[in-house]
Chains A and B, each alone.
Chain A
Amino acid sequence: MEMDINKVALLSRIKLDEEEKVKLQNDLNQILSYVEQLNELDIADVEPTSHVLNLENVYREDKVIQSEAYKEVLKHAPDIHGSYFKVPKVIEGS
């Protein structure tokens, strides 16, 4: 399996120079071919694992607990306005 380093970089919003692209393309391809060994197994009758723990149906009760976490988070924000976060204007698609 070949992966397209340009696409992965775009999706991850990471800027790479040409040298890095070559190196990472190589690394990632090696990782992929290592994982590809799994294709040798016949898994036709195996249900895909969506979770590694042997656990299911973990719920919480519908109960409100006020958290103060936002105060700490706002303190770390690069820019705020009142209790809003303020971010560069990004209109989707533009």
Chain B
Amino acid sequence: MASDKYETVIGLEVHVQLQTESKLFCSSSTQFGAEPNTQTTEVSFGLPGSLPVLNEKALEYGIQIALGINCKIAERLKFDRKHYFYPDLPKAYQISQFDMPLSYEGYLDVTTKDNDSIRVRINRAHLEEDAGKLDHESHSDGSLVDYNRAGIPLLEIVTEPDLKTPEQAYAYLTLLKSTIKYIGVSDCSMEQGSLRCDANISIRPKGQKELGTKTEIKNLNSFKAVARSLQYEIDRQTQVVESGDRVVQETRLWNDAKQKTVTMRSKEEAHDYRFFPEPDLVPFTISREKVEELKKLLPELPQAREHRFVKEFQLSEYDAQVLVSDKKTADYYEVCVNSGADPKKASNWLTTELLGILNARKESLENCKVTPESLSLLLQMMDKQVINGKIAKEILPEMVETGNSPEDIVKDRGMEQVSDTGLLEELAKNIINANPKSVEDFKLGKKNAISFLVGQMMKETKGKANPAIVNQLLQKTLSEM
């Protein structure tokens, strides 16, 4: 593929559900999974005489997210009607925001796994109501409509076309999601539809100013799907252009089973949404005092926390990013380090060892029997050479299983590290005598002959020997021979 001839331009639109109790403009419950259409009011259906009234909590949650992604908050905002005919929209218009959005001009600084850093500018974040849900599959002779979701508060967050690779898109979404979860105003569950993402993508020859024709990708059910579909589109569009054709402006659906995008509709007959001010809602003025008040309620956000972790604990940026991406993991980590664990070790043992065990058991840190203090103790026992790393790795699964403290487990199972030089010296002599071939190899300069002897020592002590002392002893004894 001649992909180095082209550069990619990606923009993302994310809809995130604001976790209010009631809907954006009426008092229906927002609870997931209720009987179809039972969580609706006259307002949801737009019945004559009904009037929408803004849920103040939704506005506040929206402002908090907007602040968290460094947006400016509008002094004055209004709502507009966006018109289209489709059965998911009972009123035949969606209440959204057109020219006076809640917030604008934000940004997030993201870093990919390969340490590629970029500032992603955010064009705007505005409030709107969700549409209903259609089920085309269950019946052959019609579609089923459930309006429980219609009117649920959403914040739509639109980036500038600043993203250049699928990896950057993935990193942006990850940081956006963890930022929103830290603020605690959405559970950001893609399965339950509380976070959805559409992507716009085009390619252009390197150096060309004007943008190429873009396609919009929908039906993205995970961040991995976003990254894969973008890569698929880069390859497909490159092929189209290389073969002398034109990319068609259209909406394409990601098919996760087939791992490809397919045409959904062509934009030739572009929608005409006929936006106009929603006459049923009055305009809103947001005082600067209110914005300051909401700003004060924000917790330390993942980006700031990442920087602090790098500074305070001398972690690499990537390690810090992994830790802070989930608030509970980062909280756990801080308690562990504050109770005496070495920061670097705590990071490795938490993200690799403990989370590894928990993932395999399909458990989460939340219900984990190992307290952060207990993990800290295990690491300190290693530092004090009470146990070695190999034994620590043996103990951890038992701690997860039983919740017992590492001290008790080591005592019960007699796993204390053997650092008694006299005892080990004796053992070293025996091992050397029993393995003349390795001694021969060592004398011939085969340095790795010693690893075999170390292994024998560890085997004899059931892994409890202090590896540093064993190494030293063997080196010394062999050199003297």
Contact (Cβ within 8 A) A66 B29: yes
Q: Smallest CB–CB gap between A89 and chain B, Å?
A: 5
Q: List 25 A-B contacts (CB under 8 A).
A: A50-B78, A50-B100, A51-B283, A56-B283, A56-B284, A59-B54, A60-B27, A60-B55, A62-B57, A62-B58, A64-B21, A69-B40, A70-B147, A73-B47, A74-B37, A79-B142, A83-B35, A83-B36, A84-B146, A85-B145, A85-B147, A86-B143, A89-B136, A92-B86, A92-B265
Contact (Cβ within 8 A) A59 B55: yes
Query: Assuming A59-B53, A84-B37, A93-B265, is B28 touching A64 (CB within 8 A)?
Result: yes
Tell me which of A61, A63, A70, A89 has the highest count of chain B C-beta atoms within 10 A of its own C-beta: A70
Contact (Cβ within 8 A) B54 A60: yes
Q: Smallest CB–CB gap between B269 and chain A, Å?
A: 9
Q: Given contacts A88-B143, A93-B266, could you give 12 more A-B pairs where the C-beta distance is less than 8 Å?
A: A59-B54, A59-B59, A60-B53, A61-B56, A61-B57, A62-B21, A64-B29, A69-B47, A81-B139, A84-B135, A90-B86, A90-B87
How far is it, in angstroms, between the C-alpha of A64 and the C-alpha of B27 when the chains are bound? 5
Q: Is B272 an interface residue (CB 8 A)?
A: yes
Q: Is B240 an interface residue (CB 8 A)?
A: no
Chain A residues with CB under 8 Å of B27's CB are 60, 63-65, 67
Closest CB pairs A-B (n = 3): A93-B265, A62-B57, A59-B56
Residue of B nearest to A82 (CB): B36
Residue of A nearest to B153 (CB): A62
Query: Assuming A64-B22, A87-B87, is B78 touching A51 (CB within 8 A)?
Result: yes
Interface size on A, residues (CB 8 A): 38
Q: Is B285 an interface residue (CB 8 A)?
A: yes
Q: Is A46 an interface residue (CB 8 A)?
A: no
How far is it, in angstroms, between the C-alpha of A81 and the C-alpha of B135 when the chains are bound? 12
Residue of A nearest to B266 (CB): A93
B-side interface size class: 35 or more
How far is it, in angstroms, between the C-alpha of A86 and the C-alpha of B135 when the chains are bound? 9
Q: Smallest CB–CB gap between A69 and chain B, Å?
A: 5
Q: Is B348 an interface residue (CB 8 A)?
A: no
Contact (Cβ within 8 A) B45 A56: no
How far is it, in angstroms, between the C-alpha of A82 and the C-alpha of B178 when the chains are bound? 39
Chain B residues with CB under 8 Å of A87's CB are 87, 142-143, 145
Residues of A within 8 A of B (CB): 7, 11, 13, 50-53, 55-67, 69-70, 73-74, 79, 81-93
Contact (Cβ within 8 A) B20 A62: yes
How far is it, in angstroms, between the C-alpha of A90 and the C-alpha of B144 when the chains are bound? 11
Chain B residues numbered 69-124 whose CB sits less than 8 Å from any CB in chain A? 78, 83, 85-87, 100
Q: Is B277 an interface residue (CB 8 A)?
A: yes
Query: Assuming A11-B274, A67-B40, A74-B37, is B143 touching A62 (CB within 8 A)?
Result: no
Chain A residues with CB under 8 Å of B282's CB are 51, 53, 55-58
Q: Smallest CB–CB gap between A24 and chain B, Å?
A: 18
Query: Assuming A59-B59, A83-B35, A92-B264, is B45 touching A73 (CB within 8 A)?
Result: yes
Q: Smallest CB–CB gap between B434 and chain A, Å?
A: 76
Contact (Cβ within 8 A) B22 A63: yes
Q: Is B441 an interface residue (CB 8 A)?
A: no
Q: Smallest CB–CB gap between A85 and chain B, Å?
A: 4
Chain B residues with CB under 8 Å of A51's CB are 78, 277, 279, 281-283
Residue of A nearest to B60 (CB): A62
How far is it, in angstroms, between the C-alpha of A79 and the C-alpha of B251 when the chains are bound? 31
How far is it, in angstroms, between the C-alpha of A69 and the C-alpha of B29 when the chains are bound? 14
Q: Is B17 an interface residue (CB 8 A)?
A: no
Residue of B nearest to A89 (CB): B143
**Cβ contact of A88, chosen from B78, B142, B277, cutoff 8 A:** B142
Contact (Cβ within 8 A) A67 B28: yes
Q: Is B38 an interface residue (CB 8 A)?
A: yes
How far is it, in angstroms, between the C-alpha of A50 and the C-alpha of B21 when the chains are bound? 29
Chain B residues with CB under 8 Å of A82's CB are 36
Query: Assuming A60-B54, A88-B142, A92-B265, is B38 touching A83 (CB within 8 A)?
Result: yes
Chain B residues with CB under 8 Å of A66's CB are 29
